[in-house]
Amino acid sequence: MTDFIKTQNTFSHGEVSPEFYSHDNIQGLSRLENADVLSGGGLSRRSGLRHIDGLVGPARLIPFSASDGTDYLIVLTDFHMYVYLGDNRYQDLITPWGYDDLSHLQYAQRFGTMIFVHRDFCPQTLRIQDGKFYLSDFTFLRNDSDLSVNIPFVKFDDAADITITVTANSSGNNYATFTTNQDFWTPENVNGRLFLLNRQWSVVEYIDPTQVVAHTNGSYSLPTGPISDWREAAFGTRRGWPCSITFHQDRLVFGGSRDWPAGIWLSAVGRHTDFNPGTGLDDEAIFISLLSAQRQQICTVVSSDNLQILTNVGEWAISSKPLTPSVVDIKQHTTVGSYTKRYLPPQKIEGATVFISGNGHDIRELSLDELGENYNANDLCALSKHLLVSPIDIAYNATQHRLYIVRQDGKMAVLNQNAALGISAWGTYQTSGEFLSVAVCDNKTYVVVRRDDEISLEYFDASLYSDCGKYGYAFCACGLPLRISGHNTTRLRLRKITARVFDTKSISLNGQRISLPDEIYSSENTAGYSGDVSINLLGTTCEYTTPIWTIHGAENYPATILSITIHGCYSV
């Protein structure tokens, strides 16, 4: 057998899937739990959680930044919105959304206004004025001349063969009865808008599936025959509401709706409630419908260097600068597809757009190539797909270079990402209970946690080493099966394992608690021990398919591991 000494001084790939254990170029771990990979490649025990407030039920977290720079945290629960400032509950509001609706709720913010959209609800506008929040229905710009509304109108597929016969109605000169050539109307058409006879109409009464009564502002002339050239408002109770939203080039962008999933509506420049395309002037509203061989359902829209459109089957971009009705340069770049079971907001990481793929097991980085012409969708979890299972929420802390993904099982998959330093390391967080939601606000990472029958709002605090002062948590890091000189070992004897630690007070190495100098536990000395700690294994035989070393810690102390060195002998 041949003697060896092998040192691993970076863990930059984090926890990797077993199929990569035999790769020589992997600087990873077989397990990484409740610990982070640092920028220098070492490992550090995760921060503890600080309790803020108890919640009445499961919640979703959304950050809100006011125009004056004040950061608020929005906590959405069943028909309620709780606004937090720092650690204090600031204001309560009533909302139209039940908890089950929150998984598909999308939002976009510009200055002190945030707009929420959901396919089944009228968009809601959240504003802060004089230190107080107000939530109200989003309203399209109304024209003073005829009280018409600048809402977009489209011809839906199921209305292609429908004709309308217009007759006078006894309610007055501004009213008419609309009779269709086949069953078409439903009670949901009431309060909806139509466009025909070169004017807008509002449906005021449902009579039966072929007849409704409509009202218009001003007089009109009865047509001589049935009308086939008519359109419906793109949004409303009957046809659904916008599904996704962003702001791009000073336009408000709606992406997809319940009954027109491939539509993109862009407001007039600087007039975010005006969706009237007018005569096609450069600053007027724009309507685009994605056309391809596959059915496109828009999942979300993202404003980046271009307007990115993420659908269920691919990723599109509009690169026009400026974007005008006459210049719309749009094309599909990749064919990954986005997650449709719930809304997981794409995150901006180092200039790229990071999103969850349609299968829920990939996280992709949408970025332009070196020429700035085409997008690539690189897989960020190619080495660690076993960790990305059934995602339910996502957030990125840019200060810490850390991406958090809450999973259905109550754990979090965590990516420590720093491309400049070659760090792309996945691991998992768990606590006593279940993580339900995550958001980053004012550089803090907030979570909603369920423990037993209680649900609470908490955040990660680097000064704590327990969760909420009463729940301990263990961290664990396991090495990979040993490979020497590009070969798998078949016989292996270990003599000694040395860990180089920094500011560490308590760890166990391969099940043996490390004895650290006694003075680090004194009340006067709050710093941990820094240096080398070792365990002698006295010729211990190790299976070549199992991890060579395990570092573990459960006490409420900091722990940082910079490198691991193994001494022993082997044969191949």
Characterize 508-530 residue by residue with b for buried, 16 or more Cβ atoms within 10 angstroms of its Cβ, and e for exposed: bbbeeebebeeebeeeeeeebbe
Say how far apart CA 82 and CA 509 lie, in whole Å.
45
Nearest to 87 by CA among 403, 468, 562: 468
CA distances from 379 to 206, 364, 365, 366 (A): 52, 5, 6, 9
Q: Confirm if 209 and 201 have CB atoms less than 8 A apart.
A: no
pLDDT at residue 127 in the model: 97
pLDDT at residue 516 in the model: 67
Q: Confirm if 16 and 29 have CB atoms less than 8 A apart.
A: yes
N-to-C CA span, the chain: 9
Say how far apart CA 55 and CA 554 lie, in whole Å.
28
Strand partners, 208: 211
Say how far apart CA 465 and CA 450 lie, in whole Å.
19
CA distances from 54 to 82, 107, 294, 411, 454 (A): 12, 25, 46, 20, 7
Q: Which two tokens stand for residue 292?
A: 């391809």
Q: Which two tokens stand for residue 202?
A: 């509002």
pLDDT block averages, 10 residues each, the chain of length 572: 88 95 89 96 97 97 96 98 96 98 97 96 96 97 90 96 96 96 98 96 98 94 95 97 98 97 97 95 96 90 96 96 93 95 95 94 91 90 94 97 97 95 96 97 97 96 94 94 72 88 89 68 63 83 76 91 91 76
Say how far apart CA 299 and CA 353 lie, in whole Å.
14
Architecture of domain 2-46+476-571: Sandwich (2.60)
pLDDT at residue 102 in the model: 98
23-38 per-position pLDDT tens digit: 888 999 999 999 999 9
Q: Which two tokens stand for residue 111?
A: 């200055």
Topology of domain 153-233, CATH: Thrombin, subunit H (2.40.10)
Say how far apart CA 365 and CA 348 lie, in whole Å.
9
Say how far apart CA 409 and CA 432 lie, in whole Å.
13
What is the signed CA dihedral for 380, 381, 383, 387, rounded to 10 degrees?
A: 160
pLDDT at residue 545 in the model: 67
90-124 per-position pLDDT tens digit: 999 999 999 999 999 999 999 999 999 999 999 99
* Count of beta carbons in the 10 Å neighbourhood of residue 187: 11
Q: Do domains 2-46+476-571 and 153-233 have the same CATH topology?
A: no
Strand partners, 392: none
Say how far apart CA 554 and CA 465 lie, in whole Å.
10
Q: Can you give the residue ranges of every domain in the chain?
A: 2-46+476-571, 153-233
Read off the pTM. Answer: 0.94
Strand partners, 477: 32, 551
Nearest to 262 by CA among 413, 154, 179: 154
Q: Confirm if 505 and 547 have CB atoms less than 8 A apart.
A: no
Determine if residue 183 is left, alpha or beta; phi over 0 gives left, psi from -120 to 50 gives alpha, anything else beta: beta
Provide φ and ψ at 388, rounded to 5°.
Answer: -100, 90
Q: Confirm if 231 and 154 have CB atoms less than 8 A apart.
A: yes
Residues 147, 217, 184, CA angle at the centre, nearest 5°?
A: 105
CA distances from 316 to 82, 110, 302, 309 (A): 36, 23, 10, 5
